[in-house]
């Protein structure tokens, strides 16, 4: 039936079957491409064999037909010759053969014809070389060309990786006591995207997040907000043909400058498309890196970024901005499989990388994060997404936050959330005091861990959950009650604008940030510091040395990029959430399109927490009114009073009495002996800051030592030295 192809056809059918079986195991479906392509190839080859071997008929018998195209060739070739001229039949069969090759190799007919012509030309050229200088170089050249065809899918056609939309997955909230070992990198370089069917049982967009609180928090009264509060982005259809044409223009532009390359892969991301190029023999990498402007001109792009080489690949990456950018919604990231695998309370959603994979960042392993970029590049949106991720995935028993917002307008929407230790801090002077409080809290936690014999917060909390830390510490509080152990929550300190703090109290702020960055990781205190002024006056060398994890948004100059990342790249970003993430464990930055959370979505998430707080407070009041013997409902241990965080906490608070303060006694002696109630005098004599000196003056006013403030003039001193001695003798 198939004539001379009877020896090859079984092998081809076996290969087709194996390939179809492999595709079914990998993609969960059977492709119709291979059987259709094989059928077209059989029709084309048998028809051409029939026409090329004397056109045997039924009278020639089995032997005559078997040497040509067989019965199939007779039917196909004979019918075409009868319908059109022999030359027309030949052209039709050759065209069908090219189409079959294109179907099998996933290429176009034009590219298949071009590859065949190129192969014929290369074969002829190497044959000529063989005639001139021996067969060995010619054979080696043909072998290399064939291997190149076999290793590249579809011949010379590069692979176009288009991210497929991921099915939403219920993302479990992590257990509060994670292992002390660093978690695996959640955004490692992924494999090529494959087509997969959505698995049954995916979470609905409004499904409640699954929470695993651990033994100590299993009866928590808090419920995490629903994923339905966060919207999803629309799926974008990628024009693969336009991407391929852009890749061809890129190759032609490089060839015009004498750089021979081979396009092996094209990855379409939310913001940019990365073209992976293999260099020809003898071509230096520096020749491509110097052609930034020429490549951008050839592709009509605002700018391009060259990654030389792509980590883990023998290829150069050229990232070109997409004409139509994709918006990455925070809801997409939190509903992704990567978010479902995230187990730590401080693992937050950042965005999507260039391959379309969701990126979750574990702040506990960073352990601190520096965010910088020009105005309007997306820093505030990134911080809002980060905070919203914490609110969506963690309870107040797991993570507490201090938000410092000198701009006054970015973080006010989070007021009332039970995760906050104090209301968002907007005064730069109070912000410096909040940093001082964090330092003192760090020292207190270290004293606690030292007394209990643990190295970090994870081991301590694990022991607390097991019930191994019920015994009192052996000390009493101000009311004489024994102080018991407490479960330690993570503390996230977010600073939205570092430049304003550095202008007001540069030395105090820098010292506090450096101390926290150096030591606070083990006790669960982590920093997120952001600024829109990436200069050495704001991001000092000491701060950079202690905060190795960086997020760089678009900047205007190479110098700013080097200040943030210690390397170029941020000046090539296109803005609107386009960022480079530099992890402490890597020297190569990762390009990410940041997640976006609408202001209305953030308000709904905040409102869900505020309503829970009100409900628990109402329940506590009703229990008190009914004299419930079980006692009132414990809403939450809110931590220290807010005025201890934002007030002048550098002054020790001992029992609430000002007379017990040694520094207060020195200040009172100075004011009474000099009869001058001046805040600046206290600053000079006691070597304290303005806020602390003002606080001391207010305490002396409350105790009757000085009068009220009269503007810029010194206060009136109301007592003499003898009266002060009498007061001291009476214990005041």
- Percent of all residues in the chain with a pLDDT value above 70, rounded to a whole number: 71
52 and 110 share one domain: yes
Output the domain CATH number for residue 709.
Answer: 1.10.10.10
570 and 694 share one domain: no
139 and 248 share one domain: no
pLDDT greater at residue 276 or residue 690:
276
32 and 123 share one domain: yes
Residue 182, pLDDT score: 38
pLDDT reading at 524 higher than 90: yes
Whether 709 is covered by a domain: the verdict is yes
Over residues 72-91, the mean pLDDT reads 78
138 and 249 share one domain: no
Looking at every residue in the chain, the average pLDDT score rounds to 77
Q: Distance (Å, rounded) from C-alpha 646 to C-alpha 644?
A: 6
316 and 344 share one domain: no
Over residues 195-214, the mean pLDDT reads 36
130 and 248 share one domain: no
Output the domain CATH number for residue 278.
Answer: 3.30.980.40
Whether 533 is covered by a domain: the verdict is yes
Q: Which of 136-140, 334-338, 482-486 has the highest average model confidence (pLDDT)?
A: 334-338
Which of 603, 633, 662 is the C-terminal boundary of a domain? 603
Over residues 459-465, the mean pLDDT reads 90
pLDDT reading at 47 higher than 90: no
Residue 645, pLDDT score: 62
* Tens-place pLDDT, residues 700-714: 888 888 888 776 678
Whether 298 is covered by a domain: the verdict is yes
Over residues 462-489, the mean pLDDT reads 70
User: Facing residues of 353 across strands?
Assistant: 592
- Percent of all residues in the chain with a pLDDT value above 90, rounded to a whole number: 25
533 and 574 share one domain: yes
Residue 27, pLDDT score: 43
Q: Distance (Å, rounded) from C-alpha 551 to C-alpha 103?
A: 44
Tokens representing 361? 């960042």
Q: 44-53, 422-431, 515-524: lowest mean pLDDT where?
A: 44-53
pLDDT reading at 558 higher than 70: yes
266 and 361 share one domain: no
Residue 616, pLDDT score: 83
Residue 211, pLDDT score: 35
Residue 181, pLDDT score: 39
Whether 630 is covered by a domain: the verdict is no
Backbone dihedral region for residue 375 (phi beyond 0: left; psi -120 to 50: alpha; all else: beta): beta
Whether 132 is covered by a domain: the verdict is yes
Residue 608, pLDDT score: 93
Q: 152-156, 224-228, 543-547: lowest mean pLDDT where?
A: 152-156
Residue 562, pLDDT score: 92
Residue 72, pLDDT score: 76
Bond from prior residue into 367 cis (ω within 30 degrees of 0): yes
Q: Distance (Å, rounded) from C-alpha 491 to C-alpha 524?
A: 6
Q: 195-209, 306-320, 475-489: lowest mean pLDDT where?
A: 195-209
* Tens-place pLDDT, residues 16-31: 777 766 655 444 444 6
Output the domain CATH number for residue 559.
Answer: 3.40.50.300
For 101-161, the DSSP string reads HHHHHT--HHHHHHHHHHHHHHHHHHHHHHHHH-HHHHHHHHHHHHHHHHHSTTTTPPEEE
Q: How many domains does the chain have?
A: 4
Residue 492, pLDDT score: 95
Residue 190, pLDDT score: 36
Task: Look at residues 392, 309, 236, 184 and name the one whose alpha carbon lies nearest to residue 588.
Answer: 309
Q: Distance (Å, rounded) from C-alpha 638 to C-alpha 641?
A: 8
9 and 133 share one domain: yes
Which of 297, 321, 345 is the C-terminal boundary of a domain? 321
| H or E element that contains 26 | helix 9-27
Whether 159 is covered by a domain: the verdict is no
Q: How many CA atoms lie within 13 A of 257 on its CB side?
A: 21
Range of the domain at 248: 240-321
pLDDT greater at residue 213 or residue 479:
479
Whether 91 is covered by a domain: the verdict is yes
Which of 603, 633, 667 is the C-terminal boundary of a domain? 603
498-519 helix and 428-452 helix, angle to the nearest 10 degrees: 10
Task: Look at residues 118, 115, 232 and name the one whose alpha carbon lies nearest to residue 165.
Answer: 232
pLDDT reading at 401 higher than 90: yes
Residue 602, pLDDT score: 94
Over residues 397-411, the mean pLDDT reads 90
* Tens-place pLDDT, residues 226-267: 999 999 988 777 788 888 889 999 998 998 888 888 888 889
244 and 309 share one domain: yes
pLDDT reading at 189 higher than 50: no
Residue 651, pLDDT score: 36
275 and 342 share one domain: no
Relative to beta strand 525-531, strand 272-279 is unpaired
Residue 188, pLDDT score: 37
* Tens-place pLDDT, residues 601-644: 999 999 999 999 888 877 766 655 554 433 333 334 444 545 55
Whether 208 is covered by a domain: the verdict is no
Residue 603, pLDDT score: 94
Q: Distance (Å, rounded) from C-alpha 631 to C-alpha 614?
A: 18
H/E/C letters for each residue in 283-313?
CCHHHHHCCHHHHHHHCCCCCCEEECCCCCC
Residue 623, pLDDT score: 58
């Amino acid at each position: 039936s198939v004539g001379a192809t009877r020896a090859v056809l079984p092998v081809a059918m076996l290969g087709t079957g194996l390939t179809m079986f492999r595709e079914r195991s990998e993609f969960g479906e059977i492709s119709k491409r291979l059987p259709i392509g094989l059928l077209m190839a059989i029709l084309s080859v048998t028809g051409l064999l029939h026409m090329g071997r004397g056109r045997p008929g039924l009278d020639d018998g089995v032997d005559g037909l078997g040497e040509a195209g067989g019965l199939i060739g007779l039917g196909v070739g004979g019918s075409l010759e009868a319908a059109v001229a022999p030359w027309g039949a030949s052209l039709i069969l050759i065209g069908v053969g090219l189409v079959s090759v294109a179907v099998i190799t996933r290429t176009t007919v034009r590219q298949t014809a071009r590859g065949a012509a190129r192969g014929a030309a290369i074969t002829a050229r190497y044959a000529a070389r063989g005639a001139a200088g021996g067969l060995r170089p010619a054979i080696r050249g043909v072998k290399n060309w064939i291997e190149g065809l076999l290793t590249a899918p579809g011949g010379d056609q590069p692979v176009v990786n288009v991210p497929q939309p991921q099915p939403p997955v219920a993302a479990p909230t992590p257990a509060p006591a994670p292992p002390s070992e660093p978690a695996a990198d959640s955004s490692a370089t992924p494999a090529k995207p494959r087509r997969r069917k959505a698995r049954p049982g995916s979470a609905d967009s409004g499904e409640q997040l699954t929470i695993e609180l651990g033994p100590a928090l299993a009866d928590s009264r808090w419920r995490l907000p629903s994923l339905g509060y966060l919207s999803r982005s629309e799926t974008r259809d990628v024009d693969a043909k336009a991407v391929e044409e852009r890749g061809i223009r890129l190759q032609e532009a490089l060839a015009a400058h004498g750089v021979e390359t081979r396009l092996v892969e094209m990855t379409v991301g939310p913001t940019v498309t990365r073209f992976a190029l293999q260099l020809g023999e003898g071509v230096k990498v520096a020749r491509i890196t110097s052609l930034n402007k020429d490549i951008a001109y050839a592709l009509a792009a605002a700018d391009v970024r060259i990654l030389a080489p792509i980590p883990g690949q023998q290829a150069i990456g050229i990232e070109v901005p997409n004409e139509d950018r994709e918006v990455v919604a925070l809801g997409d990231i939190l509903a992704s499989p990567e978010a479902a695998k995230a187990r730590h309370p401080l693992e937050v959603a950042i965005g999507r990388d260039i391959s379309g994979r969701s990126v979750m960042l574990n702040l506990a392993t960073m352990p601190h994060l520096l965010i910088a970029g020009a105005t309007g590049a997306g820093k505030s949106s990134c911080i809002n997404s980060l905070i919203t991720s914490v609110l969506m995935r963690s309870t107040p028993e797991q993570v507490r936050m201090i938000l410092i917002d000198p701009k006054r307008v970015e973080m006010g929407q989070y007021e009332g959330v039970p995760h906050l230790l104090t209301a968002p801090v907007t005064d730069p002077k109070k912000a410096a005091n909040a940093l001082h409080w964090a330092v003192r809290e760090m020292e207190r936690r270290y004293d606690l861990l030292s007394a209990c014999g643990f190295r970090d917060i994870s081991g301590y909390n694990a022991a607390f959950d097991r019930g191994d830390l019920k015994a009192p510490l052996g000390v009493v509080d101000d009311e004489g009650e024994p102080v018991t152990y407490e479960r330690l929550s993570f503390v996230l300190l977010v600073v939205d604008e570092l430049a304003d703090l550095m202008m007001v109290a540069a030395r105090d702020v820098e010292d506090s940030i450096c101390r926290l960055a150096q030591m606070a990781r083990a006790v669960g205190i982590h920093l997120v510091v952001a600024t829109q002024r990436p200069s050495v006056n704001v991001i000092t060398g000491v701060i950079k040395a202690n905060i190795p994890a960086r997020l760089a948004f678009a900047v205007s100059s190479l110098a700013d990029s080097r200040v943030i990342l210690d390397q170029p790249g941020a000046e090539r970003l296109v803005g609107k959430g386009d960022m480079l993430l530099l992890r402490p464990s890597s020297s190569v930055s990762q390009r990410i399109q940041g997640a976006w959370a609408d202001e209305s979505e953030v308000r709904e998430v905040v409102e869900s927490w505020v309503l829970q707080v009100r409900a628990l407070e109402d329940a506590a009041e009703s229990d008190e009114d009914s004299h419930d013997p079980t006692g009132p409902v414990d809403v939450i241990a809110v931590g220290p009073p807010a005025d201890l965080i934002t007030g002048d906490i550098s002054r020790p608070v001992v029992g609430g009495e000002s007379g017990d303060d040694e520094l207060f006694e020195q200040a009172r002696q100075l004011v009474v002996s000099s009869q001058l109630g001046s805040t600046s005098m206290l600053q000079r004599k006691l070597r304290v800051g303005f806020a602390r000196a003002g606080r001391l003056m207010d305490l002396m006013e409350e105790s009757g030592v000085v009068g009220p403030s009269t503007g810029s003039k010194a206060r009136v001193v109301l007592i003499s030295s003898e009266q002060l001695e009498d007061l001291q003798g009476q214990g005041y």
